[in-house]
Structure 1
């Protein structure tokens, strides 16, 4: 049912979409002044994603028709990552951006009554994205075309109402951006803490003057290897690169372990484990999910001795410095994983402050982790609330009041 005052229309009555240019990789240069936009510059839900040092830059001949202007609207026509197809962004005002292949430049037709900010929101709706995906081509990588997008039937409210809806939802975008900026700041603070507190470069006043020792892991921890001989039905966990141990079924959404668990290893709460065949990828975790759980036989498990706090040791071993040390110890390369068994692992040196300072460092990290969790939940809540509001406003289930001034 079409809401009162709205119209059902096809997008080709309002916009055209222009293909991008195939810029030659021969001229890609990290020091180039121009930026070549790629599907990686789109957030899945829509919006411009900065890529930092990974951004493609260009130093070569440029057809003038493919230099973008600030505020230009682009749509991703290739699904580089799941959910990306149909995502849109507006070109930022900083730097000069180039219109690359696989991206469509959306241009409003003269006399059209569509607002591009409203269209950006409309193309972000899950129902629209599903229609774009269902009509896409490709086997391994989905792709669409300008005609498939402009052939979509949509509901459009009057132009003043479109503008008002876009204005309302933009306030949610700003709130989300603020929450995500605070989250990014908290994560940056955590990285700084890990680089300074865990290495002794930064000290708390009450511990100034107390020397740190350097000890081998084998001096402060012992290997534990208990097999699940009774085939007990304990939860099976795996180690991720980012967060440490996760429930295997929940994380992978399918069973990735054997039906026969009798050969698996038991890992108790507070013990640390890593897959012996690829620890250099950063896969190491402390088991704080269950009293007891199971891991694959390829895992090495160890528990700290009383003179070292388990969480402190885990945090030290989770830093980039130790990832590099693990890679060096395994002789791993870009093309090959390395193996690191307990005998060699136990020889790696770690810093050891007093137990009191270890716990003080842990407390500082816990405070930052709590803030990261809070900021993450705030951003997630705002995104959920915006999504629900979009569904109401963009379908006409909830109408906005347009004042006379807004309609001008």
Structure 2
């Protein structure tokens, strides 16, 4: 690292505070409002005027996001909740400095009393190791290429989720290949379909929390789920166990949150669990309903389930209200076809989600070695050398 030198950020750049922008002036992106408005949490909206003309580094100044770093891509506005790079004192690569500041986590410079605040002085006094300009550019180029792949994957996931949402709306209410429909409380459904209560086509098991002295985190007894804190993307995460189980759910049961602000949130059991009172387990009746078809309907009904809950400060939904939710029901064969189509859409999202996670981990690893000089890059090629 002989070519790297230790400098204070105050020797590298000058920063200044942004200017206030009333929330009422923030608009969605349009030709009339093309300029992004940055705060500590990133882009808050768009406006028809800009405060800074070129690319800049934005640093959250106050509140929850103080110390969080963003990089603008062109003309933009920065609010007084953030600081931004006014000029660079020495020749440096802006992208590299942006990545370096993100890696160093400027949030640790925040004041320790009152409202979280990071000011210019501790930022100027903060020391960094700075390579030569050519190496800065190569490191920034490598990290930018990973960022581009991340953005592309996120866009694919967003589009896939949009497609799935459209498929759910179409398939779960119109079915496959139907031409005759009838009117119901939720609108038109195929004439051949039934309109039934959830409690008539599933078994509902409401959770019951075991005694506190039966809890343990050493794997004794059966895994215990109390609520959404143990939920993963699809299946729960085992955090604790109980040796005095009360209510049990089976593998592939739909797990539904029935208490609190997350009422309506869902996971699928990948094994037997004891379920506490914050959850309910839903099991399709064999030969009548397909478990995956019911799962996708529960996903679609999440907002309705929350609206059916009682209690303004602590929402909850009881077994009777849950049982009385109406579902349009085709024959079992069509249920399975619909579930398979939606599963394919889900699988696309899952594959891209795994790819995104790999890219995010790659970026994290590259930042750890490239921004510290543990792995060097040749200035004449994108090849890392020790």
**1:246 aligned partner:** 236
Measured in 2, the distance between the counterparts of 1:148 and 1:38 equals 20
Shift of 1:218: 2.3
* Cross-structure match for 1:39: 40
**What are the Cα deviations for residues 372-393 of structure 1, in whole angstroms up to 9, with x where unaligned?**
2211121221222222222222
The separation in 2 between residues aligned to 1:226 and 1:396, in whole angstroms, is 53
Counterparts of 1:247-396 in structure 2 under 5 Å? 247=237, 249=239, 261=244, 264-278=246-260, 281-286=263-268, 288-290=269-271, 292-306=272-286, 307-319=288-300, 322-330=301-309, 335-396=312-373
| Structure 2 residue 222 is the aligned partner of structure 1 residue 234 | yes
| 1:92 is aligned to 2:65 | no
Q: What is the DSSP-based 3-state SS (H/G/I as helix, E as strand, rest coil) of the residue aligned with 1:269?
A: coil
Change (3 A) 1:372 1:238: farther
Structure 1 residues 193, 274: CA separation in 2 closer, same or farther (over 3 Å shift)? Answer: same
Q: Find the counterpart in structure 2 of residue 215 from structure 1.
A: 196
- 1:46-105 deviations in Å (ceiling 9; x for gaps): xxxx5xxxx44669xx8xxx713242221123462xxx5433222234xx6422122111
2:94 corresponds, among 116, 119, 123, to: 116
Classify 1:345/1:161 alpha carbon distance in 2 versus 1 (closer, same or farther; 3 Å). Answer: closer
**Distance in 2 between the 1:199 and 1:15 partners?**
58
SS at match of 1:17: strand
**What is the Cα deviation at residue 243 of structure 1?**
4.3
| CA distance in structure 1 between the partners assigned to 2:255 and 2:351 by the alignment | 28
* 1:350 positional shift: 0.3
| Deviates most, 232-241 or 212-221 | 232-241
2:51 is the alignment partner of 1:101 = no
- Indicate the SS of the match to 1:336: coil
Deviation at 1:403, TM superposition (A): 3.8
Equivalent position SS for 1:297: coil
Segment drifting more, 162-171 vs 297-306: 297-306
Determine the C-alpha separation between the residues in 1 that align with 2:334 and 2:114.
52
State how far apart, in whole Å, the 1-side matches of 2:83 and 2:256 are: 45
Mapped partners of 1:268, 1:173: distance in 2:
41
Rounded Cα–Cα distance in structure 1 between residues aligned with 2:208 and 2:316: 21
Counterpart CA distance in 1 for 2:12 and 2:207 is 68
Check the 8 A contact 1:221/1:305 in 2, yes or no. yes
Partner of 1:46: none
* Residue correspondence of structure 1 range 57-68 to structure 2 within 5 A: 67-68=51-52
Decide whether aligned partners of structure 1 residues 336 and 392 sit closer, same or farther in structure 2, where only a CA change above 3 A counts: closer
User: Which has more strand, going by share of residues?
Assistant: 2
How many residue pairs get aligned? The number is: 359
Change in CA separation of 1:225 and 1:386 when aligned onto 2, cut-off 3 Å: closer
- Counterpart secondary structure, 1:16: strand
1:11 & 1:228 partners in 2: Cα distance?
54
DSSP-derived class of the 2:236 partner: strand
Counterpart CA distance in 2 for 1:193 and 1:156 is: 51
CA RMSD across the alignment: 3.5
Instruction: Select which of 157, 176, 182 maps to 1:183.
Output: 157
Asked if 2 retains the 8 angstrom alpha-carbon contact of 1:274 and 1:299, the reply is yes
Q: Which moved more, 1:114-123 or 1:391-400?
A: 391-400
Distance 2:143 2:38 in 1: 26
Q: Is the 8 A contact 1:69 1:91 kept in 2?
A: no
Deviations 1:312-359 (A, max 9, x none): 11210221xx23433443356xx4344432223222210111111111
Q: Distance in 2 between matches of 1:150 and 1:265?
A: 58
Determine if contact 2:257/2:263 at 8 Å carries over to the other structure. no
Structure 2: 5+ residue stretches without partners = 182-189, 215-219, 382-386
TM-score of the two chains, using structure 1 as the length reference: 0.76
State TM-score, norm by structure 2.
0.79
How much does 1:106 deviate? 0.9
